[in-house]
Each structure stands twice: as structure tokens, then as C-alpha cells.
Amino acid sequence: MSLIGRNNKILLTSMALGIFAFIFSHETEYAQQKAPAAARPDHIVIVVEENHSYRQIVGNPSAPFMNRLFESGASLANHYATRHPSQPNYLDLFSGSSQGVKGDGMPKERFATDNLASELLKHNYTFAGYSEGLPKPGYNGPYDLKSGYARKHNPWVNFAGLPASVNLPFSSFPRDYSKLPTVSFVIPNLKHDIHDGTIKEADDWLKTNLGGYVQWAKTHNSMLILTWDEDDTGSNNHIPTVLVGPMVKQTKIEDKTNHYSVLRSIEQWYGLPYLGLSKQAKALPVLQS
């Protein structure tokens, strides 16, 4: 074989090895981002409260149930919303982007972009959003002042690619918790999320409606995430957030985190692609090793 032929063969072999290494490294990276099945929650329920800062909730005697959660789970002591007002924060948490939304008004068009629900469904998981006061399943209309339903707190209704069946009233929340989807959101109405009502009313509502799930989750490999959309504009958007479940460490996390960190964690646990600015966030170090 000539020297030129030998050099070409070496070059082609090196290129092939390089391509193989690139593919292998990326496949390995994708495989490693998925949490082990033993640690990954079977169900996650995310409850979003409204417009209160960390200092207003943590340690407040008007919120005894919430504070028991903070003491028993992984409390994020340095956690922040991404902006003001409400709606962009919900969109950030749900899709890694505000989708260009800057206010609380109903978007002119539904978004065609990927989101947490669409990625879960693509990867053979399930999703539902349960909004207290939603007039009917699949409702795509504006506020319902009588029931306290606020569309701005319901991000999944704004995405065109999702089936209407994921947009449900809280009355559809399963009493048999084993029938819950893989990931679900629970959005209390304006009275029960502390937007219009009191901290005590919100705490009582949460205990009455999610206390049973919290107890069930302890023996059924499931998790509750309790968070807020934003603060009261007086604390630099420092908000309380806690994760509770048998796979969760009982700890206080001092690292600075935000809505994208929560989304990134869920994506990592279930091996989903990272959406929007969640790509730049770090997953929360809350799962038991």
C-alpha cells in the first residue's frame, strides 16, 4: 500500500472513531440525566400559591400545615421567581420561557412551542393540570369571577399542541391517588392561593385538599412540590418552595435556585429534553442517593 493510501486509511479511521465518540458521549449524557427508577417519583403534584415572599410564609403561625412541609422536606431557602407579574412566571415554570408574555392578559395566540406536558406525553408519561373553579374540562376562555378561576395561572391552556383532556377542574383530582398522572399541577382559585384570601385560608385549603395526598405519597414513592409564582414585590422575588416525599432529603438548600431549577429537576428525573432556560439551570440536589 502506498504512503498516500495508508495515510487516507488512517484519516478515515480517525474520523470514524471521532464520530462514534461524539455519538456515544451524547447518548451517555442523555442516559445519565434520567434518575434511577428507584429514586424517580411515580407521581409529582405541584401546587402554586400566589404573591407572597419567603419571610411572609416560613415560620408564620398562620400557616402551620405549610410549615410542617418545610420542616419535613427539602426547603429551598434561597429560591426566586423569575420576574413580575404572575403569568410569565407560570410560563417559565411550565416551559422554560415566558413565551414573550410580559403581562397577565390573555395571549392573542396559543403557543406552538414544547413544554413540560408535551414532553411528558411524548415520552410515554402522563400530565394534567387541575384548576380550582375551571368551568369545565378543556375550558379555553377567560377568567371566571364567580368561581375565582384565573386563566393567567393556567399555563397549559395556552399551548396549541396539548389535548383538552389535560386541562381539568380541581373537582376532577382523583380521590384514588394511584390514578394521578405522572406530573400534575394543582392551581387553587384566587381565594385559596392567597391572592385574594388570607394565609390561613390557603393553609387550611391545602391541608384539607392535599393533606391526604402528602400522607399517601410517603408510602407510594410520590412527591409534592409547593411553590409560589412571585413575591409581594418587596423581597427581591424571594419565594418559599419545598419538595416533600419519601425519596427527598430532609434538608435546607442554600444554593440560589429559581423556577427553571424546578423544571430542570423534573426533566432530569424523567429523562426529558431541557426546555428553554432550564438548560442553564442546575437540578435540585434533593433526591436520596
Supply the pTM of this predicted model.
0.89
Contact between 35 and 287 (Cβ < 8 Å): yes
Domain range summary for the chain, segments of one domain joined by +: 1-32, 37-280
Assess whether pLDDT exceeds 70 at residue 187. Answer: yes
Q: Which pLDDT value is given to residue 188?
A: 98
Residue 10 has pLDDT above 80, yes or no: no
Return all residues near 177 (Cβ < 8 A) that are at least 6 apart: 43, 212, 213, 216, 217, 220, 222
Q: Is the pLDDT of residue 127 over 90?
A: yes
- 12 has pLDDT over 50: no
The mean per-residue pLDDT over the stretch 1-26 comes to: 43
Of 32 and 152, the structure prediction assigns the larger pLDDT to 152
- Whole-number pLDDT of residue 289: 77
Distance CA 224, CA 49 (A): 13
- Output the pLDDT for position 35: 65
Angle, alpha carbons 74-283-177 (nearest 5°)? 60
- Report the range of poorest mean pLDDT among 9-13, 177-181, 252-256, 267-271: 9-13
What value does the mean pLDDT take over residues 211-236? Answer: 98
Inform me whether the pLDDT recorded for 171 exceeds 90: yes
**Structure confidence by residue, pLDDT tens digits, 16-40:** 444 444 433 443 344 345 667 667 9
Q: What percent of the chain has pLDDT over 70?
A: 87
Rounded to whole angstroms, the Cα distance separating 44 from 186 reads 11
Average pLDDT, stretch 159-170? 98
Does the domain spanning 37-280 belong to CATH 3.40.50.1860?
no
Q: Which of 32-41, 72-81, 203-212, 214-223 has the lowest mean pLDDT?
A: 32-41
The model's confidence at residue 9, banded by pLDDT at 50, 70 and 90, is very low
pLDDT at 69: 98
pLDDT tens digit sequence for 60-119: 999 999 999 999 999 999 999 999 999 999 999 999 999 999 999 999 999 999 999 999
Angle at 203 (CA atoms; ends 202, 208), nearest 5 degrees: 100
Q: Tell me what the pLDDT averaged over the chain comes to.
A: 91
